[in-house]
A and B are shown apart, each in its own frame.
Chain A
Amino acid sequence: SYELTQPPSVSVSPGQTARITCSGDALPKKYAYWYQQKSGQAPVLVTYEDSKRPSGIPERFSGSSSGTMATLTISGAQVEDEADYYCYSTDSSGNHWVFGGGTKLTVL
């Protein structure tokens, strides 16, 4: 079955740039979506269709995709950005979706 691979954890100091990667064989042809989930809360969409940002999401969040890797970049990470981040995409059929395993971002 199709898999998306993320690093389990990323750690940065406040104000630094955090980059979270997501690799998958179908990413060259399928969009990646990124979600932020804080403890005890429902996930929130932070970027969609590789690089678009929903209204209300701070500009420091950006997405990109190249080849088999999608990346979520948080430029000038803040303490409130500490959360689990998940990538999401579909397999080559377009009918079976999958989440990456999640990355715990620590900002301290």
Chain B
Amino acid sequence: EVQLLESGGGLVQPGGSLRLSCAASGFTFSNYAMSWVRQAPGKGLEWVSTISDSGGGTYYADAVKGRFTISRDNSKNTLYLQMNSLRAEDTTVYYCAKCGANGGIDYWGQGILVTVSS
């Protein structure tokens, strides 16, 4: 059974930094691309970033490019999202997601809340 468990969320001040982690199990982590998706309260889903299976390819939404960095440690089956220069509009639930063979998401974590506020 695929399991994705996010951690590292919480309250941070504007301009601050936070690193999210996602512990993956139930599949061969190093064989699949992974993504982060976020959802503001009462709003729709927003793609944030995707990383290739090896980590050699990283892709970002314009809203976070230059501020967020996606990475992975295949030896630890863990996905990361380093978030810098956080803004109030980054206040959302962040989902860790496994990508399928053609890049679309097939499994989701339960999500973790990040609140950016003074």
Q: How many residues belonging to A are interface residues under a CB distance threshold of 8 Å?
A: 26
Stretch at the interface among A10-18, A20-28, A72-80, A96-104: A96-104
- Contacts A49-B102, A96-B61, A97-B103 hold; do A43 and B108 have CB atoms under 8 A apart? yes
Decide: B106 and A42 in contact? CB cutoff 8 A.
no
A98 and B59 alpha carbons, distance in the complex (Å): 12
Decide: A42 and B109 in contact? CB cutoff 8 A.
yes
A58 within 8 A of B: no
Decide: A102 and B45 in contact? CB cutoff 8 A.
yes
Decide: A31 and B111 in contact? CB cutoff 8 A.
no
Residues on A with C-beta less than 8 A from B59 are 95-97
A90 within 8 A of B: yes
Decide: B47 and A99 in contact? CB cutoff 8 A.
yes
Quick one: closest A residue to B49, CB to CB?
A: A97
Decide: A33 and B104 in contact? CB cutoff 8 A.
yes
Decide: A97 and B47 in contact? CB cutoff 8 A.
yes
Decide: A48 and B100 in contact? CB cutoff 8 A.
yes
Decide: B106 and A54 in contact? CB cutoff 8 A.
yes
Decide: B46 and A99 in contact? CB cutoff 8 A.
yes
A108 within 8 A of B: no
Give residues 28-66 of A contacting B (CB, 8 Å). 31, 33, 35, 37, 42-45, 48-49, 54
Decide: A99 and B103 in contact? CB cutoff 8 A.
no
Give residues 25-82 of B contacting A (CB, 8 Å). 35, 37, 44-47, 50, 57, 59, 61-62
> Which residues in A have some Cβ–Cβ distance to B below 8 Å?
1, 31, 33, 35, 37, 42-45, 48-49, 54, 84, 86, 88-90, 94-102
> Which residues in B have some Cβ–Cβ distance to A below 8 Å?
35, 37, 44-47, 50, 57, 59, 61-62, 95, 100, 102-111
- Top 7 closest A-B pairs, CB basis? A33-B104, A102-B44, A97-B47, A99-B45, A42-B108, A95-B59, A86-B45
Please name 9 pairs of A and B residues whose Cβ atoms are closer than 8 Å in the assembled complex, sorted by A: A33-B104, A33-B105, A88-B105, A90-B103, A95-B57, A96-B61, A97-B47, A101-B44, A102-B45
